[in-house]
Amino acid sequence: MGASRGALRLGVADLLRHPGRRRDETLEALLEDLRVLGSEVARRQPAHLEVRLESVNEAVVVRGTASVPWVGECRRCLGPVTGTLSAPILEIYETHPTEGETQPLQGELIDLEPVAREAVLLGLPLAPLCRDDCAGLCPRCGADRNQSPCDCSTDVVDARWSALDDLRLDD
């Protein structure tokens, strides 16, 4: 199935007519322009959704995951970082939705795009790391300490204590 806009709208007439019925769906769609401070959804890379739709009374419950590749910048060394996010989805669609709690049924259709976008946006890393032991950039010379160590002093001296350097105590 090709990724396209509108690919996350599903017909649920069969589910609404038969309470308790379930249906599994595998979907693919582009979720563009999703970014947070440290990362964003990779451009032109589709999100993959695995969802189960279940009819309950006059509603449809959607459970599943949205998986999408992301790119970002390491918070320590500023190098590129990539990953794949797997965001959980749990939503209820009703004819008469409760604002902030459930989503609206659009006739006999549900639109998963707003729910998928929200789940992915909430799951994107705010401060990604290229690796757990990233040494980062030297605060003095700016060298990437993952590539090679620099010759800068690692002693951190608080300037407020510099007056004590001249203090000599007699033994």
On whether the CB atoms of residues 15 and 54 are closer than 8 A, the answer is yes
Residue 95 is predicted with a pLDDT of 87
- Residue 1 has what pLDDT? 44
Given the DSSP bridges, would you call strands 59-73 and 47-56 parallel, antiparallel or unpaired? antiparallel
**Residue-level pLDDT, tens digit, the chain, 171 residues:** 445 556 899 999 999 999 999 999 999 999 989 999 999 999 999 999 999 999 998 899 999 999 999 999 999 999 999 999 999 999 999 988 989 899 999 889 999 999 999 999 999 999 999 999 999 999 889 999 999 988 887 777 788 888 888 888 876
Question: Is residue 6 within 8 Å of 40, Cβ to Cβ?
Answer: no
pLDDT in the model for residue 6: 66
CA 28 to chain centre: 17
Torsion of CA 140, 142, 145, 149, to 10 degrees: -60
39 within 8 A of 52, measured Cβ to Cβ: no
